[in-house]
Chain A
Amino acid sequence: MIGRRTVWSANDVKKLLKDFIPCGDEVWRLHHGTDAECKLFQMFCEEGHYGTKTGGTPNSTRQGTYCCTPSGMFLGSVNSNDSGRICELLRTSLVKYQAIDKKERLQAKDPAPERKNLQRAEAKYPEDGLILRVHSRDLERKGGKREEEWAEKAHNVDFAWFTKEELQNFLPKSFEKKATFEVPRELLVRLARLHFADNVRGQTDPYAVEAVEKIELKGTVKDLKKGLVIIEFEGELKLKDATRLFEGRLRGTASWDTRKNVFTVFELIAAGDRTGQTRYNFRQNDLGPAPIGFCCVMAGDVPSDKIAPAHLGGYGWR
């Protein structure tokens, strides 16, 4: 997460990347999966900074930045949030790449047809559904100690997906001014427990279904104009388990285009107080209570807006 700011925003890195095909991917699946993409990663990652050839264990993480050839030959790697070290990796890897025979560095067969056989969560992307980018950040604190700079600047993002059928639940039965409706609890439970868990400082475990003590969201049609239905949302939530709590309010707005049958605007904020921690969310020195906010907005249409939700497995989609 820090790397987005310290490495991938640096101009010298961006300049060197022009000689590369840059990509980002989730490492656990690549490390443990069995399809062609995972096998290619497993070919070169063992030579990298955490690989078994450099003292790592078979199960230790393989997180980091790697350079490789399209055929899967290892060029270099490092796990660092320092842009200078990444620049060095890019420079040395390019020199190595150019020294390898073209027949060795490229795949003999076009790899494109294999794409359809990959076992990826993105295959479940609901093309005609509602795709939200869920941002999380600590809210302004009115008292208490200051945090370290990286922690104060921390911001994370996840994606929440709704199918075409599911998004209808964010609409009233009839498009009349002042019409009100309740969003079904089942859908809200999924949204809250999978997407409103404190991941500001790093990906974390979702809440269990039983941890959702309260969740309500009421929609009201505020206006009807030029084929648009303007809806306002208001609600409350309380999530609580053995190690953490999040309690707060929900509020949002949406605009539904009745001609195209799509949302043109959809925003939903969950804001309140959190306490406690989980295994990975770096809250051991910041147990709270402290304010936190999540803001869901419609995602765009570029590839990096089509990343699968971190806990898609919890959606129950087949």
Chain B
Amino acid sequence: MPLRAVRLAFVALLLAYLALPVSSEDLTKDNYKQIRDHILPKPEEETWREIPWRVTLWDAVIDANKEDKPILLYAMNGHPFGCT
């Protein structure tokens, strides 16, 4: 087979592979733990929680007024420590 045809066949196969729908395996007793561990955050994804966050602006105002410190506010559409 000429090199050009081989290349074309390879590209066609690759495109066909990429077009395949990706489907999940059924959630079973056997893969339950594996799927759970995949979804749950890894420790390195939760280090932002080490910061002593106040979860409302007013709680920060109360404490900042007491301690005479500036406030850092992280404000997002959807609470930034919940679903944002």
Residues of A at the B interface (CB closer than 8 Å) are 1, 3-5, 8-9, 14, 17, 19-28, 30, 36-37, 40-41, 61-70, 75, 90, 93-94, 97, 102, 105-107, 110-112, 114-115, 118, 120, 122, 135-137, 139-145, 155-159, 199, 202-203, 248-251, 267, 269, 271-273, 288-295, 297, 302-304, 306-310
Task: State whether B21 touches A156 (Cβ < 8 A).
Answer: no
Q: A28-B77, A289-B23 are in contact. Are A22 and B65 (CB under 8 A)?
A: no
A36 to B51, CA, bound (A): 25
Task: State whether A24 touches B74 (Cβ < 8 A).
Answer: yes
How distant is B4 from chain A, measured CB to nearest CB, in Å?
25
> Can you show 16 pairs from A to B with CB atoms below 8 A apart?
A3-B74, A8-B48, A19-B69, A21-B67, A23-B57, A27-B75, A63-B75, A69-B70, A70-B70, A102-B68, A115-B59, A120-B56, A137-B39, A139-B39, A155-B39, A295-B39
Q: Which residues of A contact B59 (CB under 8 A)?
A: 23, 115, 303
Counting chain A CB atoms within 10 Å of each CB, which of B28, B39, B59 scores highest? Answer: B39
Task: State whether B56 touches A37 (Cβ < 8 A).
Answer: yes
A196 to B60, CA, bound (A): 32
Q: Does B6 contact A (CB under 8 A)?
A: no
Q: Does B41 contact A (CB under 8 A)?
A: yes
Residue of A25, A139, A292 touching B73 (CB-CB under 8 A): A25
Task: State whether B75 touches A267 (Cβ < 8 A).
Answer: no
Residues of B at the A interface (CB closer than 8 Å) are 17-18, 20-29, 32, 35-36, 38-41, 44-45, 47-65, 67-84
A309 to B79, CA, bound (A): 9
How distant is B14 from chain A, measured CB to nearest CB, in Å?
10
The chain B residue with its CB closest to the CB of A268 is B36
A19 to B67, CA, bound (A): 10
Task: State whether A307 touches B82 (Cβ < 8 A).
Answer: yes
Q: Which residues of A contact B41 (CB under 8 A)?
A: 135, 155, 157
Q: Which residues of B contact A122 (CB under 8 A)?
A: 55-56
Q: A9-B44, A291-B23 are in contact. Are A22 and B29 (CB under 8 A)?
A: no
Task: State whether B45 touches A26 (Cβ < 8 A).
Answer: no
Q: Which residues of B contact A27 (CB under 8 A)?
A: 75-77
How distant is A262 from chain B, measured CB to nearest CB, in Å?
21
Q: A21-B69, A248-B27 are in contact. Are A40 and B61 (CB under 8 A)?
A: yes
- If A3-B80, A24-B73, A202-B84 are given as contacts, then 7 extra A-B residue pairs at C-beta distance below 8 Å, sorted by A number, are A22-B52, A26-B80, A65-B75, A158-B82, A203-B78, A297-B40, A303-B55
How distant is A243 from chain B, measured CB to nearest CB, in Å?
18
The chain B residue with its CB closest to the CB of A73 is B70
A69 to B72, CA, bound (A): 9
